[in-house]
């Protein structure tokens, strides 16, 4: 049996080794931002109003209003952040284009410097530099990525970020309000809201830990603790204010 060539061996190695990297980082980040705030802020608001002895209907009305306002605000924030990243990329792209045209020798020297950081000597990097100089678009892409560390943004990113964050905020914000929809007495609804939201925070924190590479159990406990502290602070403050004559 003839020995397998180098390319054949490489193909077998690649077939045996399947990369399992997670590539939806931006979407996950948006979901985490939306759900974490959505679970915490309405939860704290509902707990605070419960501490002020408000009725379930008032808490529910205020909670839904806050979820709507929060979703719009968070979504707009996500849109502006993504839009700012895209605008920054376009400004740097235009500047780099001008430099490649006006000072090509300096830009070529910068390519050599970048390649030297990867261990290439000048005589080894020369073919790469010459090849890039013959292909202006490839040259520009190289400089944007390796000199400036910028990736070309998705033109749909801003709207996608706004929608994802807003939807995640709504889904998270409705969780602590569900008991107030079902239980007419706020004193009983707040207990159910605390229990339900803490379970949701634990599940969310665990999932966040899995996606971000942190310890899932630790992430779950930290997330639940933050939500519990926020609601306890709001509840205690409302009780203290109400006790003031």
Three-state DSSP at 179 gives helix
CA distance 130 to 90: 26
In the chain, what percentage of residues exceed pLDDT 90?
11
pLDDT bracket for residue 10 (50, 70, 90): low
Mean pLDDT of the 22-30 span: 69
Mean pLDDT of the 104-122 span: 80
| Closest CA relative to residue 64, chosen from 170, 191, 192 | 170
How many other β-carbons are positioned within 10 Å of the β-carbon of residue 137?
Answer: 9
How many other β-carbons are positioned within 10 Å of the β-carbon of residue 140?
Answer: 17
CA distance 129 to 148: 17
Q: Write down the mean pLDDT value for the chain.
A: 80
pLDDT for 76: 92
Residue ranges covered by each domain of the chain: 26-239
CA distance 65 to 57: 12
**CA Rg value for the chain:** 27
| Closest CA relative to residue 179, chosen from 31, 72, 75, 49 | 49
When comparing pLDDT for 237 and 63, which is higher?
A: 63
pLDDT bracket for residue 1 (50, 70, 90): very low
- Phi, psi dihedral angles at 148 (to 5 degrees): -100, -15
Q: Does the pLDDT at position 17 exceed 70? A: no
pLDDT for 41: 85
pLDDT tens digits for 52-99? 778 888 988 998 999 999 999 999 999 998 889 888 889 988 988 888
Q: Does the pLDDT at position 39 exceed 60? A: yes
Question: Concatenated DSSP letters for 82-133?
Answer: HHHHHHHHHHHHHHHHHHHHH-HHHHHHHHHHHHHTTT--HHHHHHHHHHHH
pLDDT tens digits for 157-215? 889 999 999 999 999 889 989 988 888 888 888 888 888 888 888 888 888 777 766 78
């Amino acid at each position: 049996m003839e020995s397998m060539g180098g390319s054949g061996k490489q193909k077998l190695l690649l077939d045996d080794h399947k990369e399992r990297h997670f590539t939806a980082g931006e979407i996950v980040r948006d979901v985490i931002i939306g759900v974490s705030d959505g679970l915490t802020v309405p939860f704290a608001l509902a707990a605070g109003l419960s501490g002020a002895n408000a009725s379930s209907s008032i808490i529910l009305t205020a909670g839904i209003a806050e979820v709507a306002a929060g979703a719009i605000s968070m979504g707009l924030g996500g849109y502006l952040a993504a839009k700012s990243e895209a605008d920054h990329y376009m400004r740097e792209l235009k500047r780099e284009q001008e430099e490649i045209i006006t000072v090509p020798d300096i830009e070529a020297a910068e390519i050599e410097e970048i390649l030297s950081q990867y261990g290439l000597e000048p005589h080894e990097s020369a073919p790469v530099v010459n090849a890039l100089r013959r292909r202006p678009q490839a040259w520009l892409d190289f400089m944007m990525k390796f000199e400036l560390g910028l990736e070309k943004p998705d033109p749909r990113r801003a709207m996608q970020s706004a929608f994802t964050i807003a939807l995640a905020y709504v889904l998270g914000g409705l969780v602590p309000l569900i008991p107030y929809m079902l239980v007419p007495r706020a004193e009983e609804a707040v207990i159910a809201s605390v229990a339900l939201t803490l379970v949701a925070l634990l599940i969310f924190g665990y999932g966040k830990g899995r996606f971000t590479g942190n310890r899932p159990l630790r992430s779950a406990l930290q997330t639940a603790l933050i939500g519990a502290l926020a609601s306890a602070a709001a509840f205690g403050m409302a009780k203290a204010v109400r006790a003031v004559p």
